Amino acid sequence: MQLRRVVVTGIGTINPIGNNVPAFFKSLDEGKSGASPITCFDCSLFKTQFACQVLDFDMTAYGFSKKDANKNDRYSQMALVAAREAVLDSGMDLESVNKDRIGVLVTSGVGGLETFVGEIEKNDPAQPPRYSPYLIPKLITDIAAGHISIQYGFRGPNFGLTAACSSSAMSIAVGAQFIQLGKADAMLVGGSETAVLPVGVGGFNAMHALSTRNDDPAAASRPFDRDRDGFVLGEGAGVLMLEDYEKAVARGARIYAEVAGYGLSADAYHFTAPDPEGRGAAQAMRLAMEDARISPAEVDYINTHGTSTHHGDIAETKAIREVFGKYASVPSVTSTKSMTGHLLGAAAAIEAIACIHSLCDGLIPPTINFCEEDPDIDYNLHFVFNKAESRRVNVAISNSFGFGGHNACLVFKRV
């Protein structure tokens, strides 16, 4: 069968370096770090005392009611805010569209962690347990999609899927597939995460996964640098409106980019560590480019998973070298996590939006905080360090890899 083309017609985000898309793009261009000392809890006894936070977030400042805020964990509050921006940005006439044909696939890696922990901590072990009736609905990872569908009356496919730090990449891929197969005309896709909490910081500290550069938080996320010592935990949301190309053209929509292909794979190696040779990552990239019917020579930009962990950065650069071969120095290579931190299940959606910025505006965001070369990393790749690079981008790919060995690669093309 002839698959339908899928394009992006709306984008929305709230994250540590931008409370909306224009602010996010400006910060990317300027190489701004979102890292700062943690303010939402007393972290003085933690090994890591900083994160990339969305400061002073209040859902009601975005047109939502206090009642809406009370019904939602912080993660789904941010999902609703990002979705609202994406819907408005799409220019879709909600009075005339067939809402049976519009779905929502906005998810999270861990869901309502704040609600879950808060409900447990408020109970006195010596007293009968008392829990809020909102506990279960607020913590589940699919509830953001449910609330968004209720907000707009979208009655198409509606669920959340979880694949750790690849969650929102998988959401984009699966949402695109619904449109390709004619199961939906449009899909709101993406992810949201708010794990800057004692249990989040403490849990990742116990794994030795987080940077402990407490004396200089803004310089802590340093992918591909010799002195990287772990990732910086971030929070926020990113949502994209995907549409059938023909229908988007017919209504005169502004088209940001085409979702041209995707590749999904598993490392089948270890539950937290990447395959040291990057085999699963390489397979995802190969499959994505095959799906998009492009060659390595055609890729202009790679937004890497690039978390600033020792093993992860090395494995990903090996994968790029293996897949791109003699063309490995052609695409510009960066990690926007150097600025936003690692937003776990929301990371891929925000990085997809960063790719769209490069496609539309001809600017490659830098990997900031790079100082010294690591002998285990291949710097013959075309890294963009510390300062944005002007470049016409026709094809961009975005890599996302999650605990459990879940790998995803997305291909975006200029239309």
Question: In order along the chain (415 residues), what is the average pLDDT of each group of 10 residues?
Answer: 95 98 98 98 97 97 96 98 98 97 98 96 90 96 98 98 97 98 98 98 98 98 98 98 98 98 98 97 98 98 98 98 98 98 98 98 98 97 98 98 98 97
Q: What is the pLDDT of residue 59?
A: 97
Count CA atoms within 13 Å of residue 202 on its CB side. 10
CA distances from 135 to 111, 113, 117, 372 (A): 12, 11, 10, 47
Which residues neighbour 142 within 8 Å (Cβ) at sequence distance 6 or greater? 107, 159, 160
CB 30 within 8 A of CB 22: no
Helix (H, G, I), strand (E, B) or coil at 382: strand
Instruction: Write down the pTM of the prediction.
Output: 0.97
Beta-carbon neighbour count of residue 152 at 10 Å? 17
Question: Which amino acids are annotated catalytic?
Answer: 165, 305, 342
Alpha helices (H) along 325-410: 337-340, 347-361
- pLDDT at position 280 is 98
Specify burial of residue 91 (Cβ count, 10 A radius: 0-12, 13-18, 19+).
Answer: middle
Given this model, what pLDDT does residue 1 score?
74
Structure tokens at 143: 């509830």
Q: What's the confidence (pLDDT) of residue 327?
A: 98
Edge-to-edge strands, sheet with 257-266: 102-107, 186-194, 235-244, 6-14, 257-266, 406-413, 395-402, 301-303, 332-334, 382-383
Q: How many CB atoms lie within 10 A of CB 245?
A: 18
pLDDT for residue 125: 87
